Structure 1
Amino acid sequence: MAFKVFQSVVQRIRDTIGYDFGITDSSGVIIASTVEEEIGLVHDDCVDFLNSNSTYVEKSDMVMKKIDNNGRLDFVLYLLTNHPDRKSLAELISISMENAKLYYDEKYDKSNFMKNVLLGNILPGDITIRAKELRVKNDCRRIVYLVRTEKTRELYAYNIIQSLFPNNSKDYIILLDDQNTVLIKELKEKEDSDEIHKKARIIIDTLSSELMIKANIGIGTEADSLRDVARSYKDAQTALKIGQIFESEKNIVDYNHLGIGRLIYQLPTTLCRLFLNEVFKEGVFETIDSETMITIQKFFENNLNVSETSRQLFIHRNTLVYRLDKIQKITGMDLRKFDDAIYFKVAMMVKRYLDDVSK
């Protein structure tokens, strides 16, 4: 990737000075050149120059200059000209290459640094020091979006997210694997939860319309400093996991709005099984067919309203009453009563959790 940066700079300088030149690595292989056909070939004169103690050599039609970084030899510049000011030209080109390398290293190191912060691979005490070196703001509001897509070998999802948030100095997009991409978004001063959710919706809709890819997003808690970014990422992971179990129909799950699912997820499975056995006798839950389960879910969605539920299910009100009576006979609970409905709702969620654990 750094070589592409060099090649772009080389071509622009060539257009300005009008002379051919190239850059080799520390073994003499050409990595950037105004003559693109040379890239990948070994430059014999540069190899000889590398084996010498000289830092600058002039020949009749060419000059060569070693480019080092903090005392370490990185590259060799060769410039094809006999112009009287060729030494000054070589010096200016060397400075341009050093700056291009510095720009690339800083950009790459920032992303790598943020990835290590995200994954908790850097000690808290080192985060502040490294952030200052890379000129990354430490104390500012950030939020972590964990974007999970269908498996793909391509980086299209990553590219789409990058195009939506192109500000590399404030926002960081990190590709974790072929399914998971993380956006670390810097928040504006007055940006609230509604704005945070709008950005998640934009990502979902863009991936769907541009690539026909289904995606789910977990939103972490707000991070006030870089040290909190790892926690926000873990919260985003937890949000996706809990959402997958209890609210699979949702494609955006916020850690701050997990409801009772958060409580159940943190309970020991032995306690969950005890509760489930207390609510349902053995084998009772399995006797409830899919049609009855849909009826129950729709009844809960409509706040136990019989008339509205029957209307949405396109059935007669008496048919729904018959089904509710049937459920009462099977389970011993009348879902028209608030207490029984609460027991049943929680029991359904506990059953989903146990089923997920046993996978």
Structure 2
Amino acid sequence: MHIQRIKSIIHSLKDIIDTEINLLDENGYIFHSTDTNKIGNYDNQIISFELNDGFLIEKQEYIYCSYNSYEEDKCILSIKGINEDTQKFAKMIGIFLGTDIKNISRNDFIKSILLNTISDDSIKNVCEKHHIVTQGQVQIIVIEATENLMGTVEEILSALLSDEIIRIKSKYFAVIKRITDKNNDFPTFLSETISSELLYEVKIGIGVIVDDVYDWHFSYKTAENFIEIGKVFLPSHKTYSFKSLTIPLMISKIQANDLEEIMKQFDCNIKSLFSNNELLNTAFIFFKNNLNISDTARDLFVHRNTLIYRLSKIQDITGYDLRIFEDAILFNVMINGHLCLTNENKSIIK
């Protein structure tokens, strides 16, 4: 059952009709209500009458209606107040409750799994219908592109991949990647291919590997959030994974007050560097290229001596020589610490 969707509908309707709305099982157990005090209680009136699907029954001050839920068990709706408006709303909600999940398309079904808008009880049966393997290592890879390029990106993905490709939002595609080997170059290959075709760099989030279909949504969510946090901490990167975001993740777990205190101990004038986009970008690209002078100069389209001059400027401002590994590590921590403090609302797993 699309529990979250139904709850959202019920709460939206409550704002319109301002009355109590409940969802019950056929024993009268209230498992959801706009009145939180009702949840977990029983409505004993249920046993006093027989409900037929789609028919309304008025009992004391409530309207009742029964529908088949997605799991083929009865779901009973009750609305407090007996009048023309509540009768209409009871029928309206029933349309959603009576929808047969087994008729959902494969694409929409997988999308519901990724967005976690379908119950675990429904997943197994519908997976069987669509011949979806529920066990085995899967990694959800999310591709972000601008809305006007989504059609072209989809064509490229369809030509490149035999994997399931699901359009999630106006800017996201999700690839259901089954892990058959330890080839970690696939996301990079995907990014470079799209970039060469479109002359546009998409952002790619690499979700954690999960073992069964019930955790696909977790892999999807981590991939989506890796993109959002990665654009803040590693803007020059095209792909983001747990490994590439290890330092930001670790630092983001530190309380803001504690992090501020730690930052004070490093008198490195890091804030001044953030006012110089050229030097900051140079540092990011240098880290991306594993402190390699030649590769960084090539990526920046500058002469080697120009790069060395910029690295010297960074050292003059902060006191850290990024060509020295230990200094590079500490500088990286400082950069990420500053970004964490200025982006406290960014959380990697929401």
TM-score, normalising length from structure 1? 0.54
Q: Which of 337, 341, 344 is matched with 2:331 structurally?
A: 344
Q: What's the offset of the Cα at 1:208?
A: 2.5
Q: Map of 1:102-251 to 2, 5 A cutoff?
A: 109-152=105-148, 155-165=151-161, 167=162, 171-188=163-180, 191-194=181-184, 197-198=185-186, 200-251=187-238
Q: Verify the 8 A CA contact 2:294 2:304 in the aligned structure 1.
A: no
Per-residue deviation at 1:295?
A: 7.0
CA distance in 2, matches of 1:287, 1:212: 33
Shift, 1:337, TM fit: 7.4
Percent identity (aligned): 24
Residue ranges of structure 2 left out of the alignment (5+ in a row): 1-100
What secondary structure is seen at the aligned counterpart in 2 of 1:141?
strand
Q: What CA distance in whole angstroms lies between the structure 2 residues aligned with 1:215 and 1:128?
A: 34
1:306 is displaced (CA, Å) by: 10
Verify the 8 A CA contact 2:234 2:284 in the aligned structure 1. no
Instruction: Output the CA distance in 1 between the equivalents of 2:279 and 2:341.
Output: 21
1:334 and 1:341 in contact (8 A); partners too: yes
The aligned runs of 1:286-305 (5 Å cut-off) are 286-288=271-273, 290=276, 293=280
Structure 2 SS opposite 1:220: strand
Structure 1 pair 215/111, CA: closer, same or farther in 2 (3 Å)?
A: same
**Residue 254 (structure 2) pairs with residue 262 (structure 1):** no
**By how many angstroms is 1:298 displaced?**
7.6
Query: Secondary structure of 1:218's partner?
Result: strand
- Give 3-state SS (helix, strand or coil) of 1:261's partner: helix
Q: Distance in 1 between matches of 2:265 and 2:232?
A: 22
Task: State the 1:211 CA deviation.
Answer: 3.2
Structure 2 length normalisation: TM-score? Answer: 0.56
Rounded to whole Å, the distance in 2 between the matches of 1:203 and 1:123 is 32
The alpha carbon displacement at 1:275 in A equals 2.3
SS for the counterpart of 2:147 is coil
Instruction: Find the residue that maps to 1:214 and give its secondary structure.
Output: coil
Residues 107, 314 of structure 1: CA spacing in aligned structure 2 closer, same or farther, 3 A cutoff?
farther
Alignment match, 1:80: none
Counterpart contact for 2:311–2:321, Cα < 8 Å? no
Larger Rg: 1
Unaligned runs of 5+ in 1: 1-104
Q: Distance in 1 between matches of 2:343 and 2:168?
A: 24
